[in-house]
Chains A and B, each alone.
Chain A
Amino acid sequence: MSAPPAEPAARVELRQERDIAAARIAVSKAMDAMGARALRKTRFVTAVSEIARNALDHGGGGVIEIYRLERPLRIMIRCRDEGPGIADIDRAMTDGFSTARSMGKGLGGARRLVEAFRIDSRPGAGTTIEMEAKPS
């Protein structure tokens, strides 16, 4: 994972279900501040919802940091958890793979909805996901 570009514009702890909504709202606000188009925002916020739920369900909670990157202007989020990690990332990214209450479209779906997707996970070392999107 690359070093943080700057201080995050916002930070949301993922400890309970309602924090998933809090993360969506924080990302939505950050994109509004960039003048993001409705479809761009919906796609990115949906992807954030998927990975936030993933961090809560599989990672036992975590934290989402929201960054505003310049030149070109884009939003970046980093979601970290200290859960058990994902043993087989390729398999976890495949639609239909599910270990909990999702339909198994969550991670693969999130990757399709964003412009850049990076995942770093090792068994026992937690999972970090970074996603980026342009506002328009």
Chain B
Amino acid sequence: MSEAASIYTVDKVLLVAIRDNITDTDIINLQEDLSEKIVNESARGVVIDIAALEIVDTFVGRILAQLSSISRLLAAETYIVGMRPAVAMTLVELGMDLPGSKTALSLSHALRSLKAKGLA
């Protein structure tokens, strides 16, 4: 696993913190590592924290959307948390409103939603 992102498991939920200096290769590796971990740990929930990301461009946006789709196929629900307001506005202008990805303002909001659904 690269230094640019770390995956922790808490109550069957995989928490992923993405660092700002993540490269394209790192994030593709993360996609693979995360998919394997969902299956190996029978995770039902995934929370991806992007608070450290100063920007989300079309490449990273596409990978985030794919991460959500992959998790859904592996029976886990994904929340993207910590998006900065300026990032949200910029993504909409880019025409990338991440359809299919659930978002929450913070990690605790996401965990509450997952617990309410019995997924954590």
Contacts and interface: CB of A to CB of B under 8 A. Distances in A.
> Is the pairing of A and B real?
yes
Interface of A: 17-18, 20-21, 24, 28, 38-39, 41-43, 45-46, 49-50, 53, 95, 101-103, 105-106, 109, 112-113
Contacts of B23: 17-18, 20-21
Q: Which 10 A-B pairs have the closest CB atoms?
A: A42-B86, A49-B57, A109-B94, A17-B23, A39-B86, A46-B55, A105-B58, A38-B86, A45-B55, A21-B21
A75 B42 CA distance: 49
Contact of A46 (B20, B57, B95): B57
A113 B47 CA distance: 29
A24 B58 contact: no
B6 to A, nearest CB: 18
Nearest to B91: A46
Given A43-B86, A46-B94, 13 more contacts: A18-B23, A21-B20, A21-B22, A24-B54, A28-B54, A38-B84, A42-B55, A42-B84, A43-B90, A45-B54, A46-B56, A46-B57, A102-B59
